[in-house]
Structure 1
Amino acid sequence: MLSSYTADLHIHIGRDMYNDPVKITASNRLTLPAILKEASRNKGIDMVGVVDCQVPAVLRELKQLIVQGDAKELQEGGIRFDSVTLLLGSEIEVNDAKGQGPIHVLCYFPQIHQMELFSEWLSHRMKNISLSSQRFYGSAKELQWKVKDLQGVFIPAHIFTPFKSLYGKGVLRTLSEILSPDLIDGMELGLSADTQMADQIEELHSFTYLTNSDAHSLGKIAREYQHMQMKHPSFKEFQFVLANKNGRKIQNNYGMNPKLGKYYRTVCSECLTYLAVEKSVCPNCHSKKHIKGVADRIAALKEADEHCSSRPDYTYQVPLEYLPGIGKKTYEKLLKSFGTEMHIIHQTTREKLALVVSEQIAQAIIDMRNGKLHVQEGGGGKYGFIK
Structure 2
Amino acid sequence: MKEFFADIHIHIGRTRTGRAVKITGARSLTIDQILKEASQSKGMGMIGVIDAQSPEVLEELKDGVKEGRYSELDDGGLSFGQTVLLLGSELEINDGYSNGPIHVLAFMPTLIKMSEFSAWLALHMKNVHLSSQRLYVDGRTLQRKVKELGGLFIPAHIFTPHKSLYGKGVKASLTEVFDPNFIDAVELGLSCDTSMASQLSELNRYPFLTNSDAHSLGKIAREYTKILMDHASFREFALALQGKDGRKITGNYGLAPQLGKYYHTTCEKCGVRPNEYDHVCQTCGHTRFIKGVSERLKELADQECDKGKRPPYVHQLPLQFIPGVGAKTLEKLKTVFQTEMNILHQATEKELKNVLPEKTANYIIKARKGEVGLIAGGGGVYGKVDINHEAT
Q: Do both share a fold (TM > 0.5)?
A: yes
Matches within 5 A, 1:1-387: 2-169=1-168, 172-307=171-306, 309-387=308-386
* Structure 1 contact 171–177 (Cα < 8 Å) conserved: no
**1:47-69 alpha-carbon deviations (Å, 9 max, x no partner):** 00000000000001101111111
Q: Distance in 2 between matches of 1:177 and 1:47?
A: 32
Cα 1:170–1:56 shift into 2, 3 Å:
farther
List 4+ stretches of structure 1 deviating above 6 A: none
Cα 1:122–1:171 shift into 2, 3 Å:
farther
Q: Distance in 1 between matches of 2:197 and 2:314?
A: 15
Instruction: Give the aligned residue type for 1:144.
Output: Q
Cα 1:73–1:132 shift into 2, 3 Å:
same
* Structure 1 contact 98–171 (Cα < 8 Å) conserved: no
- 1:174 to partner: Cα distance: 0.5
- 1:308 to partner: Cα distance: 5.2
Instruction: Give the aligned residue type for 2:157.
Output: H
**2:390 equivalent in structure 1:** none
Q: Distance in 2 between matches of 1:185 and 1:170?
A: 24
- 1:366 to partner: Cα distance: 1.2
Q: Distance in 2 between matches of 1:219 and 1:170?
A: 33
Provide the TM-score with structure 2 as the length reference: 0.97
* Structure 1 contact 14–21 (Cα < 8 Å) conserved: yes
Instruction: Decide which moves more: 55-64 or 306-315.
Output: 306-315
Instruction: Decide which moves more: 341-350 or 168-177.
Output: 168-177
Q: Distance in 1 between matches of 2:276 and 2:103?
A: 25
* Structure 1 contact 102–170 (Cα < 8 Å) conserved: no
Structure 1, unmatched stretches of 5+, are none
Instruction: Give the aligned residue type for 1:56.
Output: P
* Structure 1 contact 226–250 (Cα < 8 Å) conserved: yes
- 1:99 to partner: Cα distance: 3.5
- 1:171 to partner: Cα distance: 5.6
Structure 2, unmatched stretches of 5+, are 387-392
**2:389 equivalent in structure 1:** none
Instruction: Calculate the aligned-residue CA RMSD, in Å.
Output: 1.0
- 1:281 to partner: Cα distance: 1.3
SS at match of 1:241: helix
Q: Distance in 2 between matches of 1:254 and 1:105?
A: 21
- 1:360 to partner: Cα distance: 1.5
Provide the TM-score with structure 1 as the length reference: 0.98
